[in-house]
Structure 1
Amino acid sequence: MEERYKISDPRVLKVVAHPLRVRLLGLLRGDGPATASELGRKVGESSGSTSYHLRELFKYGFIEEDADQRDGRERRWRARHRYTSWDAAELSASVEGREALRIMHLRQAEMVGRVMEEYDQADWPEEWADVSGMSDHLLTLPPAALREFNDRAEELLRDLAARHAGDPAARKVHVWLGALPRAAKEASPEEES
């Protein structure tokens, strides 16, 4: 599996930003190869619907057929990349790009909400419950500091994943990084000066 699929065309970002497609791609990345029927059962859709959306993901290079694990009559699909990325500055240069970014950000927020709704601390031992959750920070930073934060966080996550590969206590975990400037209408007078 390749590391990253970098999108520069807003039309391609819109393709993957479709609510069902983003879920299907996430399942293929997180759970491995699957058929349209298997994915349909997981997301509560018909295999016809999932087949259509899988073909769209294939058409734009997000997934590929897993020929090693053919399942009789039905194709097994696998993700081609671990991550999808894009240059927000480049995409935001056009109206279509800004719209694609807005849609993708909303899909990402929906996914965070879905995962948080499904999480029940009672299902996990104390050591997991103690480190799970989200935090919210409101800081005053320039864009360069946010870039540094994102770069260092990505580096730390890669390092931690490599160091703990094979650890029997390790589980797949969702880790989100997000930062947006606070809208001026929400800022207090002290922040605006």
Structure 2
Amino acid sequence: MSTSIPRDGENTLNEPCRILVAEDETLIRMDLVEMLTVAGYSVVAEAKNGEEAISLAREHKPDLAILDVKMPILDGISAAQEIISIAPVLMLTAFSQKELVDRARDAGVMAYVVKPFSINDLVPAMEIAMSRHKQMVSLADEVAELHERLEVRKLIDRAKGILMAALNLSEPEAFSWIQKAAMDRRLSMKEIALAVISPTDAPER
């Protein structure tokens, strides 16, 4: 069974990528929206300032947010700091100073494009931003999973120590006791370990 590769403008479900555009200059925003629509993207929200961009990002949860750096009320980089937990951010800027690039990077911006730009400049940067964000999310998930495994292992080791002392068991026997208790009660080994360590917190089944 073959798996189709998403084309430009499509997400992994082969649906149009949903884009939030934030640009305070109306004509530039209209041109950008038209450019994206023609390229096959779906612009789900348009903002005129950074504060509005944050609100719309929370409401629509887009696949990508494209923000202009210079916007009233709240600038694009400040808005990006809030939006980055919702969607990857691509920054539009008329400047390419190192200080600005560093601020954008520190805010979590995945890519940026210098004005003036064409759709040929924009699309690769958009794809890079979304790809990098996906990698970061995947890495964060892996780290969280490893952390959880480590915490469970620590709990099981503590529970084994208690069982070894209380029931005069060897370490393998204590581990087998926890395994069997988990299977018999249809609980996780973490739940059994917690019950051994703190019986008052034992889950009811």
Bucket of the pairwise TM-score, normalised by the shorter protein: under 0.3
Indicate the structure whose relative CO is greater, using CA pairs within 8 Å and at least 6 residues apart: 1
Larger gyration radius, structure 1 or structure 2: 2
TM-score normalized by the length of structure 1: 0.23
TM-score normalized by the length of structure 2: 0.22
